[in-house]
Amino acid sequence: MNLSLFIVVPILTAIIALLSPGVATVRRISLSGVTVQLLLSIVLTVLYMRRRAAGDLTPMLFQDRHSWFSVLHIDYHIGVDGISVAMILLTAFVMLAAVLVSWRIVSMGKEFFVLLLVLSAGAYGFFISLDLFTLFFFLEVSVIPKFLLIGVWGSGRKEYSAMKLALMLMGGSALVFVGLLGLYYHTAVFGHGGWQSFDLADVASTHLPLAVQRTFFPFLFIGFGIFTALFPFHTWVPDGHSSAPTAGSMFLAGISMKLGGYGCIRMALLMPEAARAYSPYIVTLAVIAIVYGALATMMQKDLKYINAYSSISHCGFILLGIGMLTSTAIRGAVLQMISHGLMTALFFAAIGMIYDRTHTRAVEKLGGLLKVMPFISTVFVVAGLCSLGLPGLSGFVAEATVFMGSWERPGGAYHLATILACASIVITAVYILRATGQVVMGPLKDPQHNVLTDATWNERLAGIVLISGIIAMGVAPFWLNELIAK
């Protein structure tokens, strides 16, 4: 399969949308483009699993390579393994839902959808890149569109939030770039005259000295960690999520934060000795993020801030799985990335639907919405139940796998960290059940809410797309677990 289609299709769709007259036409073009992306991701998943079932043990499948900057030995080198395929599938689901919930965007609608499509191209390019410079390039592609989506179409302190997000993510990118340069200048491909390389396979085959690994691993891990809300570099998350438009919040939490998690996993696998040396620090920061994020969520009164702070806690499980370095824990981290991507995108979609109708996100001003908005309320409840880890939904599968993998790591300190992470589930249950009860249960607090309408066809379809992914992963996780393991 030609993986470049995952970059070509959204870019081509964006160009056609940009040249098309009228927002209505742009909507239909964008919807067609993301639908094609979803179909391509499903085809890729099927073909990948067939190749593995046929006995193809090549680490990366469907590889393609073209020289990009020959002087510096930078190639456009792409390919996928099971983790990449899973991330591509997640991106396709979230992007389809994001376009559907943005159907009412009128102000500068053409530019809005074009930026969304560019974001998807950057995410796909990041997940398929096997050259570290190319991976970094696609990481940067997504920063400016995110800045514009918040700054132009956001709400509240949108200029401040957009600037804070851009500066912090660019700071993380700077750390990543320093780390990549360190790997580049310590990688010698002896079969090609001893020159340096950004290629993942070349860096892995160099067997970097421990001193080099320990020097540059923190730059890379912290840099990518900033994207995935690594404590204490998480402060952009609440402001960015709360100010972004609904589709922007869905991308930020559902996909953008997974770029960081994916990068952290790649670096841990690329420099295992350094990852093991820094493992106690990674686990400590992960547990702090899990507990702190859960406790901070309990203090929030704004629905978007509730979801934003809970994302800090849930992304802590990703970092916990990576820091434990057992195969089960890392597999759990990937499952958590997928589950959190679907769940938080669904949550932000439901919050956006509620805000569009009530014009408030304040919990104390809402109540009894189940009576007038049954579908939207059901979506809100499903997202909450997934967040607290209800069996049968994706959150339970992902968190249970992380916990089991974490317990496999010997040592009293690691077991204590696992226990503390498990205990946070109780806190999560408290704030989720409380928010759900206050927002959708009971009598209507505002008589004006009696005239509110339920979800439209596009909002229903967006909710169904994300819920289907959550249930498919929760009820039958074995195919996804097998995909990641291969």
Task: Convert the pLDDT of each residue in 41-87 to its tens digit.
Answer: 999 999 999 998 888 888 899 999 988 888 878 889 999 999 999 99
Calpha distance 184→186 (Å, rounded): 5
Question: In this structure, what token pair is assigned to residue 188?
Answer: 């010698």
Calpha distance 227→203 (Å, rounded): 23
Torsion angle, CA of 464/467/469/475, rounded to 10 degrees?
A: -130
In total, how many domains does the chain have?
A: 1
Q: Is residue 183 part of a domain?
A: no
Sequence-distant (6+) residues with CB within 8 A of 486 are 49, 52, 81, 82
- Tens digit of each residue's pLDDT (9 = 90 or more) over 238-249: 888 888 888 888
Percent of the chain with pLDDT over 70: 98
Q: How confident is the model at residue 190 (pLDDT cuts 50, 70, 90)?
A: very low
Q: Is residue 334 part of a domain?
A: yes
Q: Is residue 269 part of a domain?
A: no
Q: Is residue 321 part of a domain?
A: yes
Closest CA to 307 of 267, 268, 257: 257
| pLDDT for res 200 | 86
Check pLDDT > 90 for residue 142: no
Question: In this structure, what token pair is assigned to residue 210?
Answer: 């421990």
Q: Is residue 338 part of a domain?
A: yes
Q: What is the DSSP letter of 451?
A: G
Calpha distance 237→241 (Å, rounded): 6
Q: Is residue 384 part of a domain?
A: yes
Check pLDDT > 90 for residue 23: no
Buried b / exposed e over 227-262, threshold 16 CB at 10 Å, is bbbbbebbebbbbbbbbbbbbbbbbbbbbbbbbbbb
Percent of the chain with pLDDT over 90: 52
Closest CA to 393 of 407, 379, 373, 406: 379
Closest CA to 150 of 244, 30, 15: 244
Q: Is residue 20 part of a domain?
A: no
Q: How confident is the model at residue 191 (pLDDT cuts 50, 70, 90)?
A: very low
Q: Is residue 140 part of a domain?
A: no
pTM above 0.85, yes or no: yes
**Placement of tokens 């965007």 in the chain:** 105
Check pLDDT > 80 for residue 196: no
Query: The domain containing residue 452 runs over which residues?
Result: 278-486
| pLDDT for res 58 | 87
Closest CA to 150 of 229, 227, 249: 249
Q: How confident is the model at residue 189 (pLDDT cuts 50, 70, 90)?
A: low
**95-104, 147-156, 180-189, 448-457 — most confident range:** 95-104
| pLDDT for res 195 | 65
